[in-house]
Amino acid sequence: MLNRKRCCKNSLASRGRASNGLNCIGIVWARIANPRQRGEIGADLDLNTKGYESLQIRLKDIDAPGHNGIDGVYRKNGEFFIVEGKYTGSASLKSANKKTGLPRQMSDDWIRRPGEMEKALGPGNEILARSILRSDYKRILAKVAPDGSVTYRLVDSQGKVIRGNAGIFNP
């Protein structure tokens, strides 16, 4: 059994309300067994508490398997943000895969693959997908630590993390 008081002490817990109605994100966080989901869900919860609107199809079940493709698409103040969530230990972007032909993860070539944005947003959002792809969207790598804290780095159009102060992103 989870200790609600202990779970609520982590950095995400005091900031918001989970989409399933739980008012302690720490309890939700503690139940996520799949590290791939911890990156995706951790970044989503953190950005939502900071006023970013989730546009992507969101995970509805904590125990659902992860998926391939764009993890998160967000809007705030008229700007679009494409986010790749990684959990500590797997916090690097995948290189281009010559066998499958996939471009480097988070590169513009990867983001702009035919149907990729539409898949992330879900059916009926083709106009929104085109609008996002025509915009000056930002590419973000979100690294989620075991305590639920999240750090963000900007990613360039080639899918490379921008190093130094120029790459710091504070949502």
Structure tokens at 163: 């190093």
Q: Mean per-residue pLDDT for 55-68? A: 69
User: Do strands 79-87 and 72-76 pair parallel, antiparallel, or not at all (unpaired)?
Assistant: antiparallel
Task: Note the pTM of the prediction, 2 decimals.
Answer: 0.77
Q: How far apart are CA 28 and CA 7, in angstroms?
A: 9
Confidence of residue 68 (pLDDT cuts 50, 70, 90): confident
Spell out the residues 6+ positions from residue 112 whose beta carbon is closer than 8 angstroms to its own.
Answer: 133
Tell whether the model's pLDDT for residue 71 goes beyond 80.
Answer: yes
- 45 vs 63, residue with greater confidence: 45
Domains and CATH numbers, the chain: 34-167 (3.40.1350.10)
For residue 126, give the amino acid letter. E
| Residues paired with residue 154 on neighbouring β-strands, in sequence order | 140
Q: How far apart are CA 131 and CA 111, in angstroms?
A: 13
Q: How far apart are CA 143 and CA 90, in angstroms?
A: 9
